[in-house]
Amino acid sequence: MGVGDFLKRFDVSELKSEDRIDREDRKVLGGVFDRQTHLSLERLASKGVLTELLGIVSRGKEASIFHGRRGRRGVAVKIYSVEASDFRNMGKYIKGDPRFSGFRNRRQLVYEWAQKEFKNLSRVYGLVSCPEPIGVYNNVLVMGFIGKAGVPAPKIKDVELKRPEYCCDRVIEYVKVMYSKRLVHADLSEYNILYSGKPVLIDFSTGVLLEHPLSGEFLERDVRNVLKFFGRYGVKKDYNEVLSYVKNVK
Ligand SMILES: Nc1ncnc2c1ncn2[C@@H]1O[C@H](COP(=O)(O)OP(=O)(O)OP(=O)(O)O)[C@@H](O)[C@H]1O
Ligand SMILES: [Mg+2]
């Protein structure tokens, strides 16, 4: 079964012309959609999690993000590549997390990675500003779409913030709330925060529980990254004070 077949099953009438998914993207689609991924997408579709798959939004080294629909609602579909994933780096964020017992091979690890992102989002959704977790199957994660009409909200590094201090406080608050839920994002920076009227955290796959032996280190790095970014706007916060504020949860 080819990519075309899959797309046909997802209301290709929506793909009015080649410009929605251009030739470049087809190449990527071809690269991303191995047979297993194909089956995973179908499984999500049969469960009603995904109705249509539209264009590609972002092509990362390890995952590609597509815009899709669940009924009339826009969703983001994150497809992790089993081939391109950095096996060793991922292991660092999985080993030591009590939720993940072990994996047999590369494919298994990537599946756990997608599960991890889904679980992390589920843990804090509604408490911090992040995409709504909708479904996950194997290496495919479906979540709420941050943006409008298939165009994702910009990364916070690419906007001119009008209220940098306020945004910085929001992000610190999110870090604290996550911490109170025993979660550290572990890849927090201006690259994984979108701006949609307010900061929205994304890319939770690295997130670890406090039980993880490196959680303290990851937390410190997150806080440093955040303060460094907002520091560019002249927002001054004391690193140690912020860190103790975050950790001081009742
Ligand atoms: N829920 C979402 N809604 C809208 N756009 C999204 C969503 N999640 C991710 N994106 C888009 O895809 C990009 C990459 O997402 P993410 O950071 O989760 O993946 P990644 O594997 O880190 O990819 P990259 O290596 O490009 O950073 C984001 O910067 C954003 O443009
Ligand atoms: Mg990212």
What does the pLDDT read at residue 76?
A: 98
Beta strands in the chain (DSSP E): 52-59, 63-70, 73-80, 133-137, 140-144, 147-148, 151-152, 183-184, 193-195, 199-201, 208-209
Question: Which of the two residues, 209 and 14, has the higher pLDDT score?
Answer: 209
* Closest to 44 measured CA to CA, from 66, 26, 60, 59: 66
pTM: 0.89
Query: Which atom of ligand 1 is closest in space to residue 205's alpha carbon?
Result: 18
The stretch 150-174 carries a mean pLDDT of 98
Contact predicate 181/124, CB 8 Å = yes
What does the pLDDT read at residue 68?
A: 95
- Asked whether 66 lines ligand 1 (CB < 6 A), one says no
Catalytic residue ranges: 187, 203
Question: For the chain, which domains are there?
Answer: 3-151 (3.30.200.20), 153-247 (1.10.510.10)
Residue 174 scores a pLDDT above 60? yes
Partners of 184 in the β-ladder: 208
129-149 residue pLDDT tens: 999 999 999 999 999 999 999
Residue 21 scores a pLDDT above 60? no
Which ligand neighbours the alpha carbon of 156 most closely? 1
Above pLDDT 90, what percent of the chain?
68
What does the pLDDT read at residue 11?
A: 40
Contact predicate 102/96, CB 8 Å = no
Of 2-16, 22-36, 228-242, minimum mean pLDDT range: 2-16
- Secondary structure letter of residue 158 according to DSSP: G
- Asked whether 157 lines ligand 1 (CB < 6 A), one says no
Tell me what the pLDDT averaged over the chain comes to.
Answer: 87
What does the pLDDT read at residue 96?
A: 82
